[in-house]
Structure 1
Amino acid sequence: MESKTFLDSLPTNFRHEKSFFNKKNLFELEKLSNLSDLDINEIQTKSPLCSLNNLKKIRAIAIFKKEIAISPPEAYLLLHCGIGSIKSLSLSTPYELERKIGRLERSLRVKVGTEITFSLLKKWIIKAKQIN
């Protein structure tokens, strides 16, 4: 059985970035979360199919996973709701996040596949405040 890496859990729209990282054997959560803006710009220059926006999202998802133990699908959802960093998460309230997730679900006309409860949102925010 093949072990699943952090990159395997990302959506298919990250296929070019995942391919680049796999070719470079750069799939460890620690390394991905520590990518600097300079590193991201270099990757984008070396591999034009990798989008700058997606590379930054991968870094943000890795940071959420590493620092707060948020799963990649949940972190991706936070990004879609406008929460792109631990600082912005720490400044949010569970009510705000719940409202943003609900608005996103209504605008996409789909129910989010993850079980995100009010208490889970509160736990994430508390962890983010401790880090900040």
Structure 2
Amino acid sequence: MESKNFLDFLPTNFRHEKSFFIQNNLTDFKKLSNLSDLDINEIQRKSPLCTLNNLKKIRAIAIFKKEIEISPPKAYLLLHCGIGSIKSLSLCTPYELERKIGRLERILRVKTEADITFALLKKWIKKAKQIYNSF
């Protein structure tokens, strides 16, 4: 049985980025969270099929995983709700975040399988505020 790595949750539209990271042994979320904009531009230069948008999303998901311990699928959900950084998460209220997730579910006409409670949202926001205020 193949062991799971950080990139396994990515949908198929990330196949080029996933392939590049696997070939270059960049499957650890800690390494991915430390990618700079310069690194991302270099990856895009080396592998033109990798898109800037997807590379930045992967980095944001890795940062959420590393700093706030949000699982990759839940971090991906946050990105779809317009929350792409620790700063943007720290500026939200649990009510706003719950509303954004609900709006996304209504637009997509699906109920997310993520078990996201109001208490969990509060915990994420509190941790994001602590991290953002420590800068």
Looking at structure 1, the residues matched to 102 and 52 of structure 2 have their Cα atoms a distance apart, in angstroms, of 28
Report the equivalent of 2:2. 2
Q: Which runs of 5 or more structure 2 residues have no equivalent in the other structure?
A: none
Query: What percent identity do the matched residue pairs reach?
Result: 83
Letter in 2 for 1:117: T
Counterpart mapping for 1:1-132 below 5 A: 1-132=1-132
Looking at structure 1, the residues matched to 120 and 105 of structure 2 have their Cα atoms a distance apart, in angstroms, of 18
Question: How much has 1:83 moved relative to structure 2?
Answer: 0.4
Cα RMSD between the aligned structures? 0.8
Looking at structure 2, the residues matched to 70 and 13 of structure 1 have their Cα atoms a distance apart, in angstroms, of 22
Looking at structure 1, the residues matched to 67 and 73 of structure 2 have their Cα atoms a distance apart, in angstroms, of 15
TM-score (norm 1): 0.97
Looking at structure 2, the residues matched to 108 and 9 of structure 1 have their Cα atoms a distance apart, in angstroms, of 19
Looking at structure 2, the residues matched to 51 and 12 of structure 1 have their Cα atoms a distance apart, in angstroms, of 13
Which segments of structure 1 move beyond 6 Å, counting only runs of 4 or more? none
Q: Which runs of 5 or more structure 1 residues have no equivalent in the other structure?
A: none
Total equivalences in the alignment: 132
